[in-house]
């Protein structure tokens, strides 16, 4: 049976149309695939750029935290309470640095939280700086005030010591000026006829004469004058009276004494030494005292 030419031609036409349709679909699919590939490439590039930016932000945040850690390390104080707070804040900074290192850069929520914590720790550090500066300023002021007070106290002490020294000097001058003094001390020998002699064999008694000089500062009233007569051998001559007196805290033997009324004016007096068994040839020495002062010294030679 022969094929119908018309049907065969129509079949060929249908086959050609189908081929064209498939080719068009393939072209469309290829274009769509190319577009999708471009979109995916764009998205990947954008994501890579974003990740890179986030890594840079993380690195920058880490560097800021490390710089803050170094700033905290340089802070120091002389106060235990502030040092304790600084130690706590240093520990928080170190912990935050470790958390940042362990957190993925793409975790933006955590990164924003860490940025806020960084800002808080910076604010706290500034408050520490203000406190330390204020306390240091106060401490310097107190130190300066204490130094000024010590200097003032030292100056007051020096002035007080100087005043005391002046008072002591004046008191010493007054005391020295109030001491009774004498002049013209001499010693003479007398025989049995109460005439002067220079012979030891004829001497029966000795007489010391002196004048208490005028002194308005001296204590007024009775004054006892003591004499100490030493023979040529340096032995103090004494009679049965055996007098003694205190001078400069020491008890001293006296040969004789006499009390006079002293009112600040000059007083002449004589003191006799009697009842000495005999006198040897040589130099005799007399010293005169009150209980407050040494009045003088004189010598007599008996031949």
| DSSP per position, 33-44 | HHHHHHHHHHHH
Which of 227, 296, 291, 293 has its CA nearest to residue 256?
227
Within 8 A by CB and 6+ apart from 192, the residues are 202, 204
Dump pLDDT digits (tens) for 235-266: 999 988 889 999 999 999 999 999 999 999 99
pLDDT for residue 146: 76
Token reading at 201: 């064999």
| DSSP for 177-214, written as a single string | HHS--EEEEEEEEE-TTS-EE--TTT--EEEEEEEEPP
Burial string for 49-67 (b: 16+ CB within 10 Å, else e) reads eeeeebeeebeebeebbee
DSSP state of 240: T
Q: Which domains does the chain have, with CATH numbers?
A: 7-176 (no CATH), 182-302 (2.60.40.2560)
pLDDT in single tens digits along all 303 residues of the chain: 555 677 777 777 777 777 778 888 888 887 777 787 777 766 666 656 556 767 888 888 888 878 888 888 887 777 777 788 878 888 888 888 888 888 877 788 888 888 888 888 888 878 878 888 777 777 778 778 778 878 887 888 888 888 777 767 655 545 556 789 999 999 999 999 999 999 999 999 999 999 999 998 888 999 999 999 999 999 999 988 889 999 999 999 999 999 999 999 999 999 999 999 999 999 999 999 999 999 999 999 999
On whether the pTM is more than 0.75, the answer is no
């Amino acid at each position: 049976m022969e094929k119908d030419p018309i049907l065969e031609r129509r079949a060929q036409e249908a086959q050609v149309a189908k081929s064209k349709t498939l080719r068009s679909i393939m072209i469309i699919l290829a274009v769509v695939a190319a577009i999708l590939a471009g979109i995916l490439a764009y998205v990947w590039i954008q994501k890579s750029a974003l990740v890179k930016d986030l890594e840079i932000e993380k690195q920058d945040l880490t560097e800021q935290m490390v710089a803050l850690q170094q700033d905290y390390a340089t802070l120091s104080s002389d106060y235990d309470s502030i040092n304790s707070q600084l130690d706590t804040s240093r520990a928080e900074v170190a912990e935050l640095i470790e958390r940042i290192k362990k957190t993925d850069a793409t975790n933006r929520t955590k990164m924003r939280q860490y940025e806020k914590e960084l800002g808080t720790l910076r604010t706290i550090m500034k408050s520490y700086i203000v406190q330390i500066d204020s306390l240091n300023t106060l401490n310097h002021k107190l130190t300066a005030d204490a130094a000024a007070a010590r200097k003032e106290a030292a100056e007051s002490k020096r002035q007080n010591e100087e005043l005391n020294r002046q008072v002591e000097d004046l008191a010493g001058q007054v005391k020295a000026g109030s001491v009774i003094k004498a002049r013209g001390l001499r010693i003479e020998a007398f025989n049995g006829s109460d005439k002067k002699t220079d012979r030891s064999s004829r001497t029966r008694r000795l007489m010391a004469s002196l004048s208490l000089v005028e002194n308005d500062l001296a204590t007024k009233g009775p004054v006892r004058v003591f004499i100490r007569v030493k023979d040529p051998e340096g032995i103090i001559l004494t009679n049965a009276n055996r007098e003694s007196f205190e001078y400069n805290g020491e008890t001293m033997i006296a040969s004789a004494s006499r009390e006079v009324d002293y009112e600040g004016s000059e007083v002449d007096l004589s003191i006799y030494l009697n009842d000495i068994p005999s006198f040897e040839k040589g130099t005799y020495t007399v010293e005169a005292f009150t209980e407050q002062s040494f009045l003088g010294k004189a010598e007599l030679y008996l031949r």
